[in-house]
Amino acid sequence: MPTLDEEGYLVDPADWNEAIAGELARKERIVLTDAHWSVLRFMRQYYEEHHIAPDARHVMKHLAAWRSAGGEDRNDLFRLFPYGYVKQACKIAGMRRPRAWSTG
């Protein structure tokens, strides 16, 4: 396992891979489904392009399109990551903890 900070986030997001995501998810007691992987892969692609973690609203739009739901549903994201976008989704996707964001 690569180096984690005191809160369990990767110190270097470049160390991320899907096996590490699985281990981080296990520590969060999340069983990764296709929906989780869609979110995590979207987050990684966004990070690679923009060098910053995507805002939760971008992830919600992606998830709605992936589900063909036709609209954003904040609850979808929080059903997947019940302890919050930053606390779980960003951590499992290998992002550094966004310091300016709350843990929600």
| Segment 89-93 mean pLDDT | 96
Does a structural domain hold residue 99?
A: no
* Residue 103 binned pLDDT confidence (cut-offs 50, 70, 90): very low
Does a structural domain hold residue 103?
A: no
Does a structural domain hold residue 26?
A: yes
Does a structural domain hold residue 3?
A: no
Does a structural domain hold residue 33?
A: yes
Total domains in the fold of the chain = 1
Helices (H), the chain: 18-27, 34-50, 56-67, 74-80, 91-92
If you ran DSSP here, which 8-state letter would residue 87 be given?
A: I
What is the percentage of the chain residues whose pLDDT exceeds 90?
A: 64
Q: In whole angstroms, give the CA distance from residue 14 to residue 73.
A: 30
Cβ atoms of 82 and 44 within 8 Å: the answer is no
pLDDT of residue 69: 54
CATH number for position 37 = 1.10.10.370
Cβ atoms of 11 and 5 within 8 Å: the answer is yes
The mean of the pLDDT values for the chain is 88
Does a structural domain hold residue 83?
A: yes
* Residue 73 binned pLDDT confidence (cut-offs 50, 70, 90): low
What range defines the domain where residue 20 resides? Answer: 13-92
Residue with tokens 């296990």: 26
Q: Is the pLDDT of residue 14 over 90?
A: yes
pLDDT digits (tens, 9 = 90+) for 19-70: 999 999 999 999 999 999 999 999 999 999 999 999 989 998 888 888 775 5
What is the percentage of the chain residues whose pLDDT exceeds 70?
A: 88
Q: In whole angstroms, give the CA distance from residue 51 to residue 8.
A: 20
